[in-house]
Amino acid sequence: MRKPYNHILKKRWTGLLGAAVIAAAAITGCGSRWQDAGNQQETNVEESLAENTKTVVTIGYLPITHALAVFEEKELLEAGDAQLQIALQKFGSWTDLTDALNAGQIDGASMLVELAMGASSRGIGLKAVALGHRDGNVVVVSDEIESAADLKGKTFAIPSNQSSHNILLNDLLARAGLAREDVNVVQLPPAEMPSSLAGKAIDGYCVAEPFGAQAVVSGVGHVLCKSEELWENSICCALVLREDFIDTHGEDAALLAEYYNQAGDALTDEKKLAVAEQYLGQDRKVLAESLTWISFDNLAIGEADYELLAEKVKKDNILENPPSYEAFVWQKGGEHR
């Protein structure tokens, strides 16, 4: 468990003599940080820091389109004069990201909401601030699969059992009159799914984008259905903050939530493609295809939508006791609900 932030800050700055040391402390990748925002060399270091510092909040992410609002928020904060800055930390798997968040090595994350709910139910202090996106998930299958019924006896991949992709698969099978046991369900890293489909190791998958679009653009698969066809107003990813960061930096957390929602509204079709190209480095055609399925406006977490999610995670044996809306969702402005 991290020590109180005021103790950490006091200890961190004792004996620091220059901006180079300050910058080195800012990029260590763990916890909340403060860094010198100017280039002036002041005799009184503490006075300089008081006038020229920003709160740096470290946000973890996977390189997927579902994290675009975090990328855009970083751009908005850097272009403005808010005393807040986002330091992005990329992870290669949900397991690594979740472990870092739970251990307090990062302040927050754009992540699968079920993973955050699971951590919260185990007593780890996490709060969901907003949705990561709306819609944006698809079921991609090989050309041999023409309907959900054709998945019987086939192999289907999801990124994690604790994911909305798992729920979407269960909803798809139920509509086709199939049981879970009728399909060989495997867990794969998202980046491996398109090549696995091309190599016929799997027959379909559901995962965060742009990995579904990769199969569609390359011609090795097609969209069987979109998430909104199976589960209207589905919740998939969320921006999550550690509760200790909120408790000690309430105003900063509220400002983060405010800019995050502004970022979502700013992600027009043209803008979201530009941001995706900048941060994800994927093929432009793949990103353009993927982004036709996703939106980022109105990222507030509705209580009715969350309650439906909680019901689904219990029904699908993902979580036995998911946290309540009041316990898990933090409202902009600093009120815990």
Task: Please tell me whether residue 77 adopts helix, strand or coil conformation.
Answer: helix
Which of the following CATH numbers is that of domain 5-134+235-328: 2.60.370.10, 3.40.190.10, 3.50.70.10, 3.40.720.10?
A: 3.40.190.10
Burial 170-183 (b: 16+ CB within 10 A, else e): bbbbeeeebeeeeb
88 beta partners: 59
Computed over every residue of the chain, the mean pLDDT equals 86
- 199 has pLDDT over 70: yes
- More confident site: 54 or 328: 328
Whole-angstrom CA distances from 149 to 43, 165, 246, 294 are 73, 18, 47, 26
DSSP assignment of 179-213 equals -GGGSEEEE--GGGHHHHHHTTS-SEEEESTTHHH
Number of other CB atoms surrounding residue 156 within 10 Å: 21
- 105 has pLDDT over 60: yes
- 17 has pLDDT over 70: no
For the residues 103-112, what does the mean pLDDT come to? Answer: 97
The pLDDT value given to residue 54 = 87
Burial 205-221 (b: 16+ CB within 10 A, else e): bbbbbbbbbbbbbeebb
- Percentage, residues of the chain above pLDDT 70: 83
- More confident site: 256 or 32: 256
Least reliable range by pLDDT among 12-21, 84-93, 121-130, 151-160: 12-21
Residue ranges, comma separated, of all CATH 3.40.190.10 domains in the chain are 5-134+235-328, 138-230
For the residues 21-44, what does the mean pLDDT come to? Answer: 38
Task: Please tell me whether residue 169 adopts helix, strand or coil conformation.
Answer: helix
For the residues 265-273, what does the mean pLDDT come to? Answer: 94
For the residues 137-155, what does the mean pLDDT come to? Answer: 97
Reported as a single tens digit per residue, the pLDDT across 296-312 is 989 999 999 999 999 99
- 262 has pLDDT over 50: yes
The pLDDT value given to residue 53 = 83
The pLDDT value given to residue 161 = 93
**Topology (CATH) of 138-230:** D-Maltodextrin-Binding Protein; domain 2 (3.40.190)
The pLDDT value given to residue 332 = 58
The pLDDT value given to residue 331 = 76
The pLDDT value given to residue 18 = 38
